[in-house]
Each structure stands twice: as structure tokens, then as C-alpha cells.
Amino acid sequence: MLNRPWVVWCLVIVQCLCGAYFLWEILAAILGLPSVPLRWNVRELVEAGASIGLILGAFLGVRLAFVAQHATHRAENARQITSGEFTSVVDTYFADLGLTGAETEVAWFIVKGISLAEIADLRQTRIGTVKAQCAAIYKKAGVTGKSQLVSQLVEDILL
């Protein structure tokens, strides 16, 4: 609905027309001005249009609030990254995935492009342990390998 501006403009026009009619009716009653007589079925359509416009407007407002909140979150991530807080942003991303401390350390090595054998040497563990930790990381991230993990990380953080 947000992708089609004409829908939003139609909603605004319906709301404005119905609101103008109701405002005129109120002012006419208070000030003794001539009323705009409508047949009962036309008045029902105006009231239905106003009601639908208000309801759709409320839903659209909530949707726009969520879109704005998402955009604000993306902008804050971009600000943190450009201000030199890349490490904390990635650590937060790993924490949101639910990685353990050891998995986070292995994930950092993966992001840096270090091979599994080198990770095992650096961590002084067996390669089988590193493979098991990688499998757990990939499962938590919903990916199948190193390249997908890095790609998803970049996409989720930067985009």
C-alpha cells in the first residue's frame, strides 16, 4: 500500500471530503447556515467512507511508524559503523544470534577470512571442534556456510 502513492492520496481525499461535509453540517446547525441535504442512502455512503478512511488511516499510520522505526534502526547502525563502532555492532549482531563466547570468537575468525585449520591452531583446539562450532553458528544464523554468514552479516548490518 505504501508503494502506491495514489492509494494514500485517494484515502486522504476521501477523508477530507467526508470531514468537510461533517464539519459543514455541524457549522450549519450551530450558525443556522443552510444544510446540504443528502438522501439517506448517500449520507450512509458518506459515513461509511469516513469510517473506512479513518480505519485505513489508522492502519497506515501504524505501518508508517514501523517503517520509520526500521529506518531509524538502520540509520543508527550506519552511524555506529561510520563512527568506528563496527566491532560493537558486529558483537551485538552475534549476541542477537545467540552465539556463545566460543562461537562468537570463531565467528569473528570466519568474518576475517581465516581457515578452519588456522582457527583451530589459534584457539588451540581440534579442527573437529571448530567444525562443530561453525555448524552451530551457521544453524543459529540460518545459513549454510562461511560466505552466506558474511553476506548475511553485511546485509543485516549495512542494509
Q: What is the pLDDT of residues 134-150, one digit of tens each?
A: 999 999 999 999 999 98
Angstrom CA distances, 4 to 58, 83, 105, 144, stand at: 17, 36, 45, 36
Residue 67 has pLDDT above 80, yes or no: yes
Architecture field, domain 86-158: Orthogonal Bundle (1.10)
Number of Cα atoms under 13 Å in the Cβ half of residue 47: 8
Global confidence as pTM: 0.52
Q: What mean pLDDT comes out for the span 3-26?
A: 81
Average pLDDT, the chain: 85
Q: Which pLDDT does position 109 carry in this prediction?
A: 92
Q: Which pLDDT does position 139 carry in this prediction?
A: 94
Q: Which pLDDT does position 159 carry in this prediction?
A: 63
Q: Parse the chain into domains and list their residue ranges.
A: 5-82, 86-158
- What percentage of the chain has pLDDT greater than the value 90? 28
CB 133 within 8 A of CB 122: no
**How wide is the angle at C-alpha 11 spanned by C-alphas 58 and 29, nearest 5°?**
85
